[in-house]
A and B are shown apart, each in its own frame.
Chain A
């Protein structure tokens, strides 16, 4: 069965600190997609990134970077020089080839608090 584990329930940092959010996944599919979403207090899930299982290149987007390692089934997310606006719940999600594009398996989320 597919599963996503985000072991960190809550993380608290001070502004400008770097923070890494961990995500470990399980799947038997050979082709799959991994995602990160941000959920601010307003409640709407904001899409951050999609990564294909056959592309292990790390990605950087501004202060955000993602480290995908198939060997350890991990897809970690790092925020560099965190800001108060980064405070939110972050979800890692998995979509399986057989599960169709519309079925995302979410982790429980990591609540990030960035204090000024």
Chain B
């Protein structure tokens, strides 16, 4: 089975611009979560999508948004970029709840966003 894929892998943007990151989960996984990783704050949960609905949201400003499509692929968008948004953005997918591997999240390689 193919793993979680994220595109693009690297991105450089200027302050004030917006950016869209994409994530394709493992086949059969319907839950997709997004995390931001920075040296200072570590790994922080952004949001989770399940069956095209946002199920959970972390403590991030409204500039951070996401969505999920019917094929479970997900995108996250950051508008009005700030220097502090520079980070590694990780996407993870997990199998349906109740199964033997539920709650296990499998991560993609991440998108490294640099804001200048």
Chain A contact residues, CB within 8 Å of chain B: 33, 35, 37, 42-47, 50, 91, 95, 99-109
Contact = CB atoms under 8 A, between A and B. Distances in A.
A99 B107 CA distance: 19
Contacts of A107: 42
A103 B56 contact: yes
A45 B102 CA distance: 17
A91 B112 CA distance: 19
Contacts of A106: 35, 42-44
Given A42-B109, A44-B107, A102 B31 contact: yes
Interface residues of B, number: 29
Interface in B81-116: 88, 90, 92, 94, 97, 102-110, 112
Nearest to B112: A43
Interface in B32-55: 32-33, 35, 42-45, 48-50, 55
Given A33-B103, A35-B104, A102 B50 contact: yes
A101 B107 contact: no
B110 to A, nearest CB: 5
Nearest to A102: B48
